Amino acid sequence: MAGTLSLPDSEVVQYLCACKKWNSIYRLYICRRCFKIRCGDCVLHEVDSPYCPNCLENMPSAEAKLKKNRCTNCFDCPSCGHTLTTRATSQMIPNPDDPGKSTPKKMYYLACGFCRWTTRDVAIPDKPIASGAWEDMENPDAARISTLLEHYQLLAQKEKVEKERKKYSRRRSHLMYAASMDKYGLVSVAAKRKGLISAGPNPTIKENEEINIKTIKEAVTVEEFPPLPDEIFTEPIQLTKKTSISQRLAMSEFQPSEAVELYPRRKHLLIRRSLRCKECEHNLSKPEFNPLSIKFKIQLIALLYIPEIRVVPPGELKYKKDTKIVLTFSNPVNTNTKIQFIQAEGNEGEKVTAKIELPKKELVLAHRDVPAMYADMPAQQDFKDDSSVVSFRKANKLGIIFKVTPLVQEGDVKVCFVLKHDYLNTAATLPSENEEPEIVWLEHRVTVNLGPVTSSK
Amino acid sequence: MPLYEGYTSDKNVVIFDFGAAYTKCGVAGEMCPRCIIPSQLKDQKTGKIKQIWEYNTEDELYENLKDFLFILYFRHILINPKDRRMVVCESLLCPEIFRETLAKVMFKHYEVGSVLFSPGHLTAMLTLGTNTGLVMDVGYNETLVIPIYEGIPVIKALQSLPVASKAIHQRMKEMLLSNGKVKTGNEEYSLSDKPELLTEEILEDIKVRCCFTTKWDRAKKIHDVTLYGADISNLPSPPPSVHYPLDGGSILVIDGTIREQVCEVMFEQDNEQVSVTTLLLDAIIQSPIDMRVELSQNIVILGGTALLPGFLHRIQMELLDLIKQPRYSNVLALKKFRYHQAPAKSNYTSWLGGSMIGSLETLPSKSVSRDQYTESGKLSDWCNLATVGQS
Ligand SMILES: Nc1ncnc2c1ncn2[C@@H]1O[C@H](COP(=O)(O)OP(=O)(O)O)[C@@H](O)[C@H]1O
Ligand SMILES: [Zn+2]
Ligand SMILES: [Zn+2]
Ligand SMILES: [Zn+2]
Ligand SMILES: [Zn+2]
């Protein structure tokens, strides 16, 4: 059948974004300061309000940073990744007053409701308190890493001091790469040999700048690595006792190969993102602080401000044959919107395959009116629609007739035009002021894919 | 809280190591990456998995990197990229187009403040507190060996071989397709009837959970059979087979020979008599004579493939054996070798070095700033390793 639209709705009508990318209206934002359409690529994404997806607790950004974006209360199963729950049990412990007797005591452990993993499986002792007792494992190399880091930090400080003192003005050159290692014990010998980098650091230091750098303990090297255990050739392996690569990498410091070495993982926080216009830094989307809320304090999605266009499936579209088609325009705002059409000039990367004749007169889209959308009644206002241009009117929707002439014998029929509409800028005026809101005219370049041309055979 | 965090001058420096298989990403001054995740993306529309290194055009790579960084910044690191600094640990063989495109995404799209590109082989040295070493990286695509002498890579001695984990997976696939059996209930059929069952994930999982690098004396017997035509009866008796569960209740029977032999792909000397082990000796031979002994006493092994059980021991045994063979003993007067052990797992050692560089006060003066980049429009003016190394 001719005119069947096989593309998903979101790809039939595309709007040109301010950054020159074509996008569906469902993925666009509009900046109310510079009145430009913005897409995901030309807005600034920002990390906003970290929260735990399990306990829904918000964490201030500074604290989240300190906690490495992990919740202090919730844990994930190291085996399957689901959330662990705290289970209470009663244990008999020797009575401190009467060593001959034992008394029950409440103890806690963590268990996975999904894969049944528990902290007991891996011999982690139960804890006497329900939360806060699960410490992180310590990196066995922490001391060495800290020593090295301290050492490099001192060297870097020293270098900085000397540089400032000498007003080091060596031009940056391609040698910078070598210099990036310079003086962290990775001195650029080759460059030095070539005489390209000034000889080593000057040992004299500012009188008040006693930077004393002790040499650090040399790295220990080994001559041998442990061989494979002999059992590997004789004992069958139990797959379930071996960790998978993702289980290992999720504990990057330890990467245990045996399942008994798995350890509960603190739950990773999520964030809500806020969006800003890259040009004027105005907020385009800002989530509510409350993680339970799906509301946004600010949410300037284009669909709420720009008329949405849909295609009424056309009949036959034949090569070089003038055909009337209908596009529906829906008004998203609560005021009437005037619209005009302009032929698209030049080319912005669209592939046009048909000529389109546009209505010359200005048309009005009725305001969005919630009850009227349900009551299937004709709009109350009288727009004196010209039936040669308007195919139908229903609440805030208007079916507009266009004349299209396909210029290709095969492939999709695509047209391009500029939609111009007025827009009441309520954002610019404060409600307290008794000023009339400013009216601006916005123009959007739009392409519409009307589906494949009907073959002439 | 780790002690040393007080020294970090800027807590918002993000450190990346974009591996062929896994990307390591985290924050400067920390002891391990916040995440090690597959270097891949899920296509929003088709749901297909796509490797970030898989691209036909620069634009495609740009999109890959843009989307991948989005996930890293907003799902894992939770730090705003804009105006912040970053460090990239890269391979010495990193193609120019990758680095340039990454810089473009970073500076133009995310508007980061500055980027420092640093070779992972060099940053790894920082974690040891030494500046001379023979560095071997056994990653996913290839094995690379480069001597670093007093902080400078001896580029002319660089050795590489396209065998590492990818080749192991490939070898496993061949072996399983030639004799692997699948059992479903009472039925049994050859895996070669359903080769699509063997995805890359399954191959990797089998490798990680079941396979190992066998001992040198056994390997010699295995090579006699698999490479030099000795009778199969000379094979050492294989380790027990494994019943590996597949989706839908089927069981894949993995023969012990597969568990033991897949890693041999890295150690089989081909026609040119090259294996991952000979790369080490060849790199020493290509280095100036006065460096050789020191290099042999400072071997550093990086990369996730080196985490396979038995790998390091095997390298050690083979080196001691090879050095006695005329082709090496005639040129090298070495008797023993010594190895470094970084304070990190070998798959993120380079990253840890990046984390150290990133936490230093001098980072700004070593990095390319957005202004500098915007001025010249490309990166290559700022870091050109090849020119530095050739001396
Ligand atoms: N903890 C581990 N145990 C076993 N194998 C590992 C481990 N970590 C990584 N690997 C293996 O090492 C290979 C290379 O990892 P990596 O060095 O991160 O690759 P690249 O840096 O080239 O992306 C991977 O294919 C992975 O299967
Ligand atoms: Zn855009
Ligand atoms: Zn929580
Ligand atoms: Zn679980
Ligand atoms: Zn704006």
Mutate to test the interface with A, among B365, B371, B384 (most CBs of A within 10 A): B365
Contact at CB, A160 and B391, closer than 8 angstroms: no
Distance, in Å, from the CA atom of A201 to the CA atom of A187, rounded to the nearest integer, reads 10
Tens of pLDDT, residues A108-131: 999 999 999 999 999 899 988 887
Mutate to test the interface with B, among A151, A245, A268, A271 (most CBs of B within 10 A): A245
Tens of pLDDT, residues A331-375: 998 889 999 999 999 999 999 999 999 999 999 999 887 665 555
Q: Residue B136: pLDDT band by 50, 70, 90 thresholds?
A: very high
If one compares B210 and A106, the residue with the highest pLDDT of the two is B210
Model pLDDT, residue A385? 83
Mean pLDDT for B112-122 is 95
3-state secondary structure B122-162: HHHHHCCCCCCEEEEEECCCCEEEEEEECCEECHHHCEEEC
* Amino acid letter for position A406: P
Contact at CB, A252 and B36, closer than 8 angstroms: yes
Which of B10, B16, B74 is CA-nearest to residue B348?
A: B16
The residue whose CA has the least distance to atom 2 of ligand 1 is B307
The Cα angle at residue B255 between residues B250 and B256, in degrees rounded to 5: 140
Distance, in Å, from the CA atom of A343 to the CA atom of A308, rounded to the nearest integer, reads 19
Which stretch, A89-93, A170-174, B321-325, has highest mean pLDDT? B321-325
Which of A283, A261, A284, A402 is CA-nearest to residue A339?
A: A402
Number of H helices, E strands in chain A: 7, 22
Kindly give, in sequence order, each residue whose CB lies less than 8 Å from that of residue B57, ignoring residues fewer than 6 positions away. none
Q: Distance of CA A398 to CAs A55, A79, A311, A374, A392, Å?
A: 47, 56, 12, 16, 6
If one compares B383 and A198, the residue with the highest pLDDT of the two is B383
Which CATH architecture best describes the domain B133-163+275-329?
2-Layer Sandwich (3.30)
Residue A277 and residue B280 in contact, taking contact as beta carbons nearer than 8 Å: no
Tens of pLDDT, residues B70-115: 999 999 999 999 999 999 999 988 999 999 999 999 999 999 999 9
The environment of the single-atom ion ligand 2, i.e. residues with CB closer than 5 A, is A 17, 19, 21, 39, 41-42
Q: Within 6 Å (CB) of ligand 1, which residues are found?
A: A 245, 248, 255; B 19-22, 139-140, 165, 204, 208, 303-305, 307-308, 347
Model pLDDT, residue B243? 95
Mean pLDDT for B308-322 is 97
* Amino acid letter for position B151: G
Please report, rounded to a whole number, the percentage of residues in chain B having pLDDT higher than 70: 94
Q: Distance of CA A408 to CAs A7, A351, A354, Å?
A: 19, 12, 7
Q: Which helix (H) or strand (E) holds B302?
A: strand B299-302
Chain B residues in contact with A149 (beta carbon < 8 A)? 4, 7, 29, 356, 359
Helix pair B200-210, B165-179: axis angle to 10 deg: 100
Q: Which helix (H) or strand (E) holds B36?
A: strand B35-38
DSSP sequence for B176-222 = HHHH-EEEETTEEEEGGGSGGG--HHHHHHHHHHH--PPPHHHHHHH
Domain ranges (residues) in chain B: 14-126+345-376, 133-163+275-329, 165-266
Helix residue ranges per DSSP H, A281-368: none
- In this model, does residue A236 exceed pLDDT 90? yes
Asked which of A437-441, A450-454, B71-75, B368-372 is least confident by mean pLDDT, the reply is A437-441
Kindly give, in sequence order, each residue whose CB lies less than 8 Å from that of residue B286, ignoring residues fewer than 6 positions away. B147, B154, B156, B157, B159
Q: Which helix (H) or strand (E) holds A104?
A: strand A102-112
Contact at CB, B365 and A65, closer than 8 angstroms: no
Distance, in Å, from the CA atom of B26 to the CA atom of B72, rounded to the nearest integer, reads 9
Write down the residue that tokens 């691209």 correspond to.
Answer: B55
Cα of A82 vs centre of ligand 4, distance in Å, is 5
Tens of pLDDT, residues B260-286: 999 999 999 977 899 999 999 999 999
Residue B297 and residue B149 in contact, taking contact as beta carbons nearer than 8 Å: no
Contact at CB, A180 and B297, closer than 8 angstroms: no
If one compares B56 and A370, the residue with the highest pLDDT of the two is B56
Please report, rounded to a whole number, the percentage of residues in chain A having pLDDT higher than 70: 81
Ligand number, closest to the Cα atom of A20 = 2
Contact at CB, B82 and A44, closer than 8 angstroms: yes
Distance, in Å, from the CA atom of A398 to the CA atom of A333, rounded to the nearest integer, reads 14
Model pLDDT, residue A202? 37
Distance, in Å, from the CA atom of A73 to the CA atom of A85, rounded to the nearest integer, reads 10
Three-class secondary structure of residue B312 per DSSP? helix
Q: Distance of CA A300 to CAs A28, A274, A287, B31, Å?
A: 9, 11, 11, 41
- In this model, does residue B205 exceed pLDDT 80? yes
DSSP sequence for A141-198 = THHHHHHHHHHHHHHHHHHHHHHHHHT--PPP-TTHHHHTTTTTT---HHHHHTT-S-
Mean pLDDT for B131-139 is 96
Kindly give, in sequence order, each residue whose CB lies less than 8 Å from that of residue B126, ignoring residues fewer than 6 positions away. A148, A152, A184, A185, A186, B352, B353, B356, B357
Kindly give, in sequence order, each residue whose CB lies less than 8 Å from that of residue A106, ignoring residues fewer than 6 positions away. A88, A89, A90, A91, A128
Mutate to test the interface with B, among A135, A158, A181, A274 (most CBs of B within 10 A): A181
Q: Residue B354: pLDDT band by 50, 70, 90 thresholds?
A: very high
Fold of B14-126+345-376: Nucleotidyltransferase; domain 5 (3.30.420)
Asked which of A224-228, A315-319, B317-321 is least confident by mean pLDDT, the reply is A315-319
The Cα angle at residue B381 between residues B380 and B383, in degrees rounded to 5: 65
Q: Distance of CA B379 to CAs A280, A405, B153, Å?
A: 28, 49, 21
Three-class secondary structure of residue A444 per DSSP? strand
- In this model, does residue B385 exceed pLDDT 70? no
Q: Residue A53: pLDDT band by 50, 70, 90 thresholds?
A: very high
Which of B259, B28, B54 is CA-nearest to residue B141?
A: B54
Tens of pLDDT, residues B225-271: 999 999 999 999 999 999 999 988 899 999 999 999 999 999 999 77
Distance, in Å, from the CA atom of B331 to the CA atom of B73, rounded to the nearest integer, reads 50
Q: Residue A304: pLDDT band by 50, 70, 90 thresholds?
A: confident
Cα of A57 vs centre of ligand 3, distance in Å, is 6
Q: Which helix (H) or strand (E) holds A29?
A: strand A29-30
Chain B residue with the nearest C-alpha to that of A257:
B209
Which of B299, B298, B254 is CA-nearest to residue B277?
A: B299
Tens of pLDDT, residues A72-101: 999 999 999 999 999 998 877 777 777 777
Picking from B7, B151, B239, the nearest residue to A233 by CB comes out as B239
Distance, in Å, from the CA atom of B138 to the CA atom of B59, rounded to the nearest integer, reads 30
Which of B309, B179, B333, B196 is CA-nearest to residue B254?
A: B179
Write down the residue that tokens 């290709």 correspond to.
Answer: A408
- In this model, does residue A186 exceed pLDDT 90? no
Token pair recorded at residue A276: 């800003």
Mean pLDDT of chain A: 82
Q: Can you name the residues that pair with B189 across neighbouring β-strands? A: B182
* Amino acid letter for position A272: R
CB-based burial, A46-79: b 16+ in 10 Å, e otherwise: bbbbbbbebeeebbebeebbeebbbbeebbbbbb
